[in-house]
Structure 1
């Protein structure tokens, strides 16, 4: 017998013989729900014409169906990849993504973020580095009851509140690869000051060089800002040295591509005259010539996992504990590395 008014979630639960929570999981595409239960509930929803009231549910939750992304990052490709991972996680749900760039150097940064979170009533927020490294920002999220996950290049928080990679470890592997080929004069294009990723990658570089007993002058380290332009300037500084480096490790692919550009302008051949390794494994690394040896940073998988951690309570599943918190990066061997030229 049909209900007199509009069908409700209680009607669906009763007719399907399941709990209200199970109906909610079906509506929100919980990834841990079995197919048979999902099909049964979806059939009832179709049969009685039930339409979820998003506004009413948001009011009951005291939160909107919004996942936030907060960042202050000069690398547009990184932000795009993170968005791709989040959108993959919330596909076929009622959740939407809202992106908020901020200025980590602003004196009102914490107040601005707090105002944003309270005004938007986000269900949860993913915080990108380097902003994610600010413990006070995490405390703001806790104070106002906003779920959060921090992304970083090393452990920043408890497992349910973080996804991280092993940057220093994989950079040690990259530098050891260069050393194994005979390179002893290796330049570093470091990332921007204030970024934990830059610090972790430099740490891996310095540890590998020290472990090999190689003493490098400070002049073989040039600062960049994760952009092509700063990478080009840094590469020029390194290649102006005499003797110049036989290899360069750049802390991201943009600066690695800039190093290739700088070498080509001087008539140098890569990898015969100069070996180059980048970090991120973005499209530019495989699209340029020669294809770039680089570190694959699983950023899309990290962002997807972070979003699922944020939504674990909503789905009513124990996703937060099942989603990994550490995502190992891997060295991808391509054509930009060779043994140093023997003159």
Structure 2
């Protein structure tokens, strides 16, 4: 297919658009394998490209790709296992769609936090953003994304936004299950190691744990509460402090699995037998929970599914769907009983 008006000259994207009877933007989407082009239109444009010998400029194609087909994940989470599982879930949702994932780790405590996020969003011209905790809980980031007209979906322990923009994880319900389990085993001296104060999940898990204990007439003694950082090291340090008390706890509920495994180390350092000298329960059920010994009793939060569900909501409108009406199950954390908790010694 030769253009008589351009004898001897290579075809351009404008030529392809005119000959195919579509816009230049549609041709660009076809070139970049956008999922948002009808198959009939795609076939027509590809036929014109093949017959005209048009060859897109690689640099221009790359620029178009970055403008249109990147899903961002902005996170401030000290647990690498959690982050990797979340990324896998997002990738599950976008695989084969022409969209790609780009991640942006950040530090909410840094003075440059908001400027860094704004630079990332504007520079990448993102298709949209998935926000895990605790970035999802920061209303300053939400305001920034709205101002930039950048779609987003938040993952959080409670609802913070309209349903189309939320995946709610109901963390307090899972923590209550952990408390019931320890109470049913007969523990009364029970400790709690929370996550960082800046995470809403820390408060929700603490609240749920206290409410679960209350169902059995137990109270979470403030002397048995320590603040952690959702890291192995902080769990070990907090547990060492608790186990050095004159009347140490017989069970510890850690706010995530990484801290729970840190508690295991602290117990072993003191020569304690887990679970018979000290019962330990974690939260998240990351893959490591079933690989340590004893296998960790923990609250299962489907982190990978959470990432997938958030990305599905983010891309729903581009697929002609209502994000709020997607057929997604409610996330209900559940207790996974393994070997790290047992009745206390007589």
Within 5 A, what are the aligned runs for 1:191-206? 191-206=195-210
Q: Which residue of 1 aligns with 2:156?
A: 152
Distance 1:12 1:325 in 2: 43
1:164 aligned residue (165, 168, 182): 168
Residues 1:233 and 1:92: Cα distance change in structure 2 (over 3 Å)? same
Q: Which residue of 2 aligns with 1:33?
A: none
Residues 1:181 and 1:52: Cα distance change in structure 2 (over 3 Å)? farther
Distance 1:235 1:99 in 2: 33
> 5+ residue gaps in structure 1?
15-19, 31-36
How many angstroms does 1:196 deviate by?
Answer: 0.4
Q: Is this contact kept in 1: 2:128–2:151, CA < 8 A? A: yes
How many angstroms does 1:44 deviate by?
Answer: 7.8
2:321 aligned residue (311, 317, 327): 317
Distance 2:139 2:147 in 1: 12
Q: Is this contact kept in 2: 1:308–1:323, CA < 8 A? A: no
Distance 1:162 1:122 in 2: 19
Number of residues of Structure 1 aligned to a counterpart in Structure 2: 327
| 1:114 and 2:125 are equivalent in the alignment | no
How many angstroms does 1:326 deviate by?
Answer: 4.0
Q: What do you get for the CA RMSD once the two structures are aligned?
A: 3.3
Q: Which residue of 2 aligns with 1:272?
A: 276
Distance 1:311 1:247 in 2: 43
Residue by residue over 1:184-239, the C-alpha shift from the partner in whole angstroms, topping out at 9 and shown as x without a partner, is 11111111111101111111111122332223432211111111111001111111
> 5+ residue gaps in structure 2?
4-10
2:95 aligned residue (91, 94, 108): 91
TM-score of the pair, normalised by structure 1:
0.84
Q: Is this contact kept in 2: 1:153–1:166, CA < 8 A? A: yes
TM-score of the pair, normalised by structure 2:
0.83
Q: Which residue of 1 aligns with 2:143?
A: 139
| 1:341 and 2:345 are equivalent in the alignment | yes
Q: Which residue of 1 aligns with 2:74?
A: 70
Q: Which has the larger radius of gyration?
A: 2
| 1:257 and 2:261 are equivalent in the alignment | yes
